[in-house]
Chains A and B, each alone.
Chain A
Amino acid sequence: MEEQGAPAAGTPEPEPERAEKVVTLRPFDLADADDVITWASDPVVTASMPWASGPCPTRESLLAFLRDGDSAPPHPWVRAVCLGSVSGGGGAVVGAVAVTPTDDWCRAEIGVVLARARWSVGLAAAAMRRAVAEVFVDGGAPRGGTLEGVERVEAVVEARGGGGDASRRALEEAGFRREAVLRSYRAVEGQLRDMAIYSFISTDPLLLH
């Protein structure tokens, strides 16, 4: 997703220059620790993060995750979500997207976590669009990769109500198809909830623009 920012103030340019934000994915790196730690300890964010074994990750567990990255089960495919400018390189790491295989090798679950201050439907959708594009490059998960054989990427979110609204919109904007409402599927905060299941399969059209 590309957003238009305000033009730089000051000396007029011969050609107008627009500051554009670009979302890219890349593997995590140890050098990301400073960026990540600014938002990773937010309990709302941390709850679903790969490194979360408790409410607050230690710097050690975070560094271990950043160092081992994709090789550490149960998260064989994780990418840093970077928000930068077209001209200026990768940009800051604002979140993570993980695609995790299930017991059926054709099926994997996607999860996106973003720094709370940066969260937007557009950003979450962009991260997921790029994730499925990478997973299904050339129409299928690459042979020999950690997601070999995966033909379905799915997400389960609350079927209705404000709490899941942004997630549902992000999935739809990323091109996922809502397939069903699974009744009384999961307990959320002590209450049984209906959950909507969304999927993106290897033959669905990739929505990169």
Chain B
Amino acid sequence: MEREPEMEVTLREFAEADTEALFSWASDPRVVRFQRREAYSRVDEARRYILDHVLPHPWYRAICVGSVVVGSISIKPGPAEEGGSRRRSPSSTRASLGYRLAHGYWGRGIATRAVRMAAEAAFAEWPWLARLEAVADGENPASQRVLEKAGFVREGVLRRYLVLKGRPRDMVMFSSVDTDRRNKPVEAHGL
């Protein structure tokens, strides 16, 4: 089945020129509802975010439908529970994934495709990666479905795990592991 060109989902690196696009979803309370950050109210906040956080990030991509930037997806190497450092510890074998999509593009499988593509890219680019994990808020079934449809395995509910908007939240933990993708025994990972 041929997919129409304007519906093709691709990932590419961000540029400062994507400021307006990022602001469009980062200022939308529906999109940021299950994120740590409050909604942006000024375009300059989005521009600073791209310059200070996105461009130096180890892996941060714009989700495009055709040529339109409709969301973002990022993967942070290192344990999910340790924030701050952008440099992973030498012994780390994990990375954590997160994504955001403009509200007008929900419900079309775009996020699912983006998560699949990002996971493939991470395992291809990082030979040290054994486990890619993602958490979805316990009250966000749509995001849980995205991760399941993208081939992640639901592992369980971690109670009062993260603070979002100042409140501890129950989070559902999902993972995609090297052995899921390659059908290789763990011992062959070569640590």
Using a CB–CB cutoff of 8 Å, the interface residues on chain A facing chain B are: 102-107, 151-152, 154, 177, 179-187, 190-192, 197, 199, 201-202
Contacts and interface: CB of A to CB of B under 8 A. Distances in A.
15 contacts: A103-B82, A104-B163, A154-B158, A179-B157, A180-B158, A182-B133, A182-B155, A183-B153, A184-B131, A187-B93, A192-B130, A192-B186, A192-B189, A197-B158, A199-B158
A151 B94 CA distance: 25
Give the secondary structure class of A's interface: strand
Interface of B: 81-84, 91, 93-94, 130-131, 133, 153, 155-163, 168, 173, 175, 177-179, 186-187, 189, 191
Given A151-B168, A184-B131, A107 B160 contact: yes
B23 to A, nearest CB: 27
Contacts, number: 82
A201 B160 contact: yes
Given A103-B83, A107-B160, A180 B189 contact: no
Contacts of A103: 81-84
Given A184-B93, A185-B131, 11 more contacts: A103-B82, A103-B83, A106-B161, A106-B168, A107-B160, A179-B156, A179-B159, A183-B177, A187-B91, A187-B191, A192-B93
Given A180-B173, A187-B93, A192-B186, A107 B156 contact: no
B153 A151 contact: no
